[in-house]
Every structure is written in structure tokens, then in C-alpha cells.
Amino acid sequence: MKKDTTVVLGAHGHVSNAANKRGPLSTGAEWSFELLAKYDRAIGAIATEEFGLDCYPNQIEVISSEQMLDAYSMTGLPIGYPHWSFGKSFIHHDHEYRTGMRGLAYEIVINSDPCIAYLMEENTMPMQALVIAHASYGHNSFFKGNYLFRQWTSADAIIDYMVFARQYVRDCEERHGVVAVEELLDACHALMDFGINRYRHPKPLSPADELRRHRERQEYSWQQYDEIWRTLPANQAADTSSRRPTRFPEEPQENLLYFVEKHSPKLQPWERELVRITRKVAQYFYPQGLTKVMNEGWATFWHYTLLNRLYDKKLVDDGFMIEVLTSHTNVITQRGYDQRGYGGINPYALGFAMFTDIRRICENPTPEDRQWFPDIAGTDWLKVLDFAMRNYKDESFIAQFLSPRLIRQFHLFAVADYENEDTMGIDSIHNDAGYRRVRKLLAQQYNRDYLLPDIQITNYERDGDRSLRVQHRRHRSRPLNEDASRVLGYLQRLWGFKVRLDTVDEEGSVVHYEEAKPG
């Protein structure tokens, strides 16, 4: 199918070159479904044929602004289970939108196979084309290529899973009451960031494998059998201790929700399933949180590149490009730390600048670039970009590819805020001495372990009072926030018995503890 369209397009291009009278695909702001298809074909041809982007098939859906608001507040999924917190975010967005404080994002794209992208009906044709390029080819290829998404999300299953989740939550509400379900979901939501597996667990053994292993073990013990051992007196104490390890879990567990789901002594089966649902949703969004800069940067880089290519091929007119560039410029604006409306580093701006910069380093390296990036300077930019997209997350991407030139361009500087000093100090700035330090600190800022406190389950008193012990390992003497005791209360609700949170310092001694008891 794809082959066919490109052949047709190619033929067209040929004719146009000869006759040189082929105009733009459309003019003006109006869009129609025929035009959407036309643009999609043209953009798709450039993306896949010229630049070799590997995408899931696309499903482009046109929706109204109301529906966009709905999708927004469901954290971007088309289907979600009912919960008041989604209502809260809906009300918030709705209010901001109506009072004109904020426009709507012009696109939402869902990491699914086929890749679903939403276009808003209010958009003009150039905007629709921009969104198609951005979402349906930019984000889409990122979802398909990046290692985190490949590892952690199954794009073909998410929609079905959410359908199941919604139905399950509704059934629970019917059976156990809205309030009971809501209370449980509140607790789960509070711990969602701590319900994530960061390392693949080996697949569980199939029954056949298990049987085989059991046989092997038996055979081994038969081989080792020696009558003489039976004559030894049995050591009672040693025997009991070997049956059950004194400490459980043997290793600290960082996935709190998983531990709760598997081991909570009090949860009902349906409650366990709800914990699992929130855990799955958190896991689904896990890669998105780690690749915000890369993902947006990649999509922005590609809408910019693809649409410029359309323009070069004279498929769009000047008016089209001016509108596209206006939006593009708005998206990649980076305000300085002391300017109004500064809200941290804009992931679109940083990501776009970095991908563009990598291309520049490949195509026109300066001596500085050759010194900093000897591997990629002067090589094929498409290959380098593709490699970066596939194998990095924000943290490593910045640590690897942020060039001194960009640090200068963004005027990046690092502020150090140390507890035992009265004032903050300027740690390093965009100069020769500071490049590496700034880059390291900026990369660290996108490190999940740096952003979230380190909280792990260390002990479950299985044979005693069933209490749970959770440890917060303090890093650089940063304490927990004020919410902590409320969250602990939620954890206690899920666990059902006493939960104790110890804060230990770098040496491992407890500096603070808090307890939540049932009732």
C-alpha cells in the first residue's frame, strides 16, 4: 500500500519538474478530510522514503475542543477509569481554557499500535499539517524506536487494557460502592511513582520448565544421596532457620505497589486488582517521564524538517510556512530565569535545539565540535540521530550530546543551594571551565533517582505483628516533603497493619521515623 502511494507521488513529482506548473497542495486555512489525507500522504512519503523514519501505522482522529479537554484530563489516554482527580484536572483545564489563560495543546498522541493522534477541528490546515508531522511521524517513530518504550510498553495492548480497567473499576464501584473504590484509588495514586519496575524481571517459568527443573533437582539429589548423612544428629535450630529466612523481603523492594499487591495481608482480591491497574498505568507512563526532552525534541525537529521539505518541494505556499513557523517559534521559546513566565527549561526548546545541533555537528563541524564529538563530527547525520533516538533517555542524552555551543546559546548556569550556607552560590556558568559541570548537572536534573526520594520496603514482619518497615534513604541530606505523612497513611491503608517509615542518613543511621497505625 505504502509503496503504491509513493510511486504515484514520485510520478507526480516527475511530471511537475518537467512541466513546472504544479502548485501547492492547498491554499488558505480551510481543511477537509481529502486535504488531510493528501497532506498525510505527502508528509508520510518524505518521512519514510527520504528520511527513513520507522513508524507504526497512523490513525488520525479529528475531535472537537471539548473532546480534547476530555482527553487532556484523562492524562492523555482516550479511555480511563472514573476518579475524582481526573475531574479535578478537567475542571482546571476547562477553567483555564474558558478564561483564556491557556490555549489547548494542538495535539495529543497515544503510544499505541496503530499510533493514534488527535487533531482539533478548530485548527487551520497548516496547523493540522504541523500536527500530523509532529505527532504521526515524529512522536510515532520515537515510540516505535526508543529502547525504553520498546522495553516497557506494549503499544498494541494499551487501549484494550484501559477498556478492561475501566470496566473493572466500574464493576467494583457497583459491587463495593463508589466511596470504597475511590478511597483505594486515592491511596494507589499517591504511591503511583513508587509502583514502577525499573528492571526487567525474568519471565516466570512455564509449568513444563518448572517440572523439568524439579526433575533435575531430584536427579541431582539422588546422585548426591549418601546413606551416612542420615546418621548425623539433626540440628533443630539450624533446621528452622533454613526453612524460612528471618528477613522478608530478603532484598529491599523499591516497587511499593507491587509489594503491596503481592504481599499485603489484608487486601481483598478486587482491591489487589485495582492496585495492579494503577501500577500498570504508572508503568505505561514511565518511559514518557524519562524521555520528555528527547521525545518532544525529536517530534519538533521532525515537524520542522518535514514541513520545510514540503516547502522546498513547493507543495505548500508562503502563507502556510509563515503560520507553521509562528507556531513553531512559540513552541520552542525558552525564557530566561529572570523573565516573566519562566517555568524551568522548556523540553521542546532544549530537545529541538539538541537534535538540530547534532545535525549541524554532523554536517558542518567546527574545530570545537571535532574536539568534543570526534565520533559524530562529519558523519551521516541521519544515522547519528537515529542512534541517539533509539538508545538514550533524557539524562544520558544530555550527558552525551549537549554541546558547549548550546550551553552558550542557552546561557546555562548552575546554582548551588547548600544547607549549611546562608546564600546560594553560582556553581558554574557557560565558560570553558564550566561546560562539563553544567552539562553534568543538567543531565542529573533529568535523572529520576535525583528527582524522587529513595524509598524502599526493607522488612515485613511476617511472623510477628505483620507490620511493614519502609526506609527513606536520604541523599545529600534532603528531607522528605510535608506530604510524606499523608502518603504514609495511604500506604498504611493498603497494607492494613502498622507501617513505619525510617529516614536514614548517608551513614545508614536512623535520623527520623514516623508511624502510621490502623484505625
Q: Give, as ranges, the residues between 246 and 305 that touch other proteins (CB under 8 A).
A: none
By CB under 8 A, tell whether 332 contacts other proteins.
no
Of 100, 233, 344, 519, the residue at the interface with other proteins (CB under 8 A) is: 344
**Total binding residues for other proteins by CB under 8 A?**
107
Of 150, 263, 335, 512, the residue at the interface with other proteins (CB under 8 A) is: 335
By CB under 8 A, tell whether 74 contacts other proteins.
yes
d(CA 358, CA 406): 10
Query: Beta strands 510-516 and 499-504: pairing type?
Result: antiparallel
Shortest distance (Å) from residue 416 CB to other proteins: 5
By CB under 8 A, tell whether 190 contacts other proteins.
yes
Q: Which is nearer to other proteins, 274 or 385 (CB)?
A: 274
Contacts of residue 484, Cβ cutoff 8 Å, sequence gap at least 6: 472, 501, 514
Q: Which is nearer to other proteins, 233 or 344 (CB)?
A: 344
Cβ atoms of 282 and 125 within 8 Å: the answer is no
Contacting other proteins within 17-36 (CB under 8 A)? 33, 36
Q: Which is nearer to other proteins, 73 or 153 (CB)?
A: 73
Q: Which is nearer to other proteins, 314 or 408 (CB)?
A: 408
By CB under 8 A, tell whether 451 contacts other proteins.
yes
Cβ atoms of 43 and 6 within 8 Å: the answer is no
Q: Which is nearer to other proteins, 138 or 434 (CB)?
A: 434
Q: Which stretch binds other proteins (CB under 8 A): 63-71, 148-156, 264-272, 360-368?
A: 63-71
d(CA 382, CA 424): 42
Window 111-150: contact mask with other proteins (x via CB under 8 A): ---x---x--x--------------x--------------
Contacts of residue 256, Cβ cutoff 8 Å, sequence gap at least 6: 191, 194, 195, 455, 457, 470, 491
Of 25, 26, 73, 271, the residue at the interface with other proteins (CB under 8 A) is: 73
d(CA 498, CA 332): 49
Phi-psi region of 20 (alpha: psi -120 to 50; beta: other; left: phi over 0): left
| CA-CA-CA-CA torsion sign (133, 135, 141, 147) | positive
Residue 228 backbone dihedrals phi, psi, to 5 degrees: -65, -25
Cβ atoms of 343 and 292 within 8 Å: the answer is no
Of 126, 195, 287, 347, the residue at the interface with other proteins (CB under 8 A) is: 347
Cβ atoms of 445 and 478 within 8 Å: the answer is no
d(CA 476, CA 378): 41
d(CA 444, CA 345): 14
Amino acid at 47: A
Closest CA relative to residue 146, chosen from 47, 288, 50: 288
Cβ atoms of 458 and 471 within 8 Å: the answer is yes
Q: Which three cell numbers stand for residue 150?
A: 520498546
Contacting other proteins within 79-118 (CB under 8 A)? 82-92, 94-95, 98, 114, 118
Q: Which is nearer to other proteins, 198 or 411 (CB)?
A: 411
d(CA 166, CA 82): 7
Shortest distance (Å) from residue 512 CB to other proteins: 12
Query: Beta strands 468-473 and 499-504: pairing type?
Result: parallel
Q: Which is nearer to other proteins, 239 or 417 (CB)?
A: 417
Of 189, 263, 360, 473, the residue at the interface with other proteins (CB under 8 A) is: 189
Shortest distance (Å) from residue 61 CB to other proteins: 5
Q: Which stretch binds other proteins (CB under 8 A): 146-154, 215-223, 381-389, 429-437?
A: 429-437
Shortest distance (Å) from residue 277 CB to other proteins: 16
Q: Is 63 helix (H, G, I), strand (E, B) or coil?
A: strand
Window 453-482: contact mask with other proteins (x via CB under 8 A): x-x----------------x-xxxxxxxxx
Window 224-243: contact mask with other proteins (x via CB under 8 A): --------------------
- List 344's β-bridge partners, or say none: none
Q: Which stretch binds other proteins (CB under 8 A): 22-30, 294-302, 364-372, 421-429?
A: 421-429
Shortest distance (Å) from residue 14 CB to other proteins: 22
Q: Which is nearer to other proteins, 33 or 229 (CB)?
A: 33
By CB under 8 A, tell whether 345 contacts other proteins.
yes
Window 360-389: contact mask with other proteins (x via CB under 8 A): ------------------------------
Contacts of residue 171, Cβ cutoff 8 Å, sequence gap at least 6: none
Closest CA relative to residue 367, chosen from 404, 341, 334: 404
Contacts of residue 336, Cβ cutoff 8 Å, sequence gap at least 6: 342, 411
By CB under 8 A, tell whether 7 contacts other proteins.
no
Shortest distance (Å) from residue 84 CB to other proteins: 4
Q: Which is nearer to other proteins, 10 or 319 (CB)?
A: 10
Q: Which three cell numbers stand for residue 242?
A: 533454613
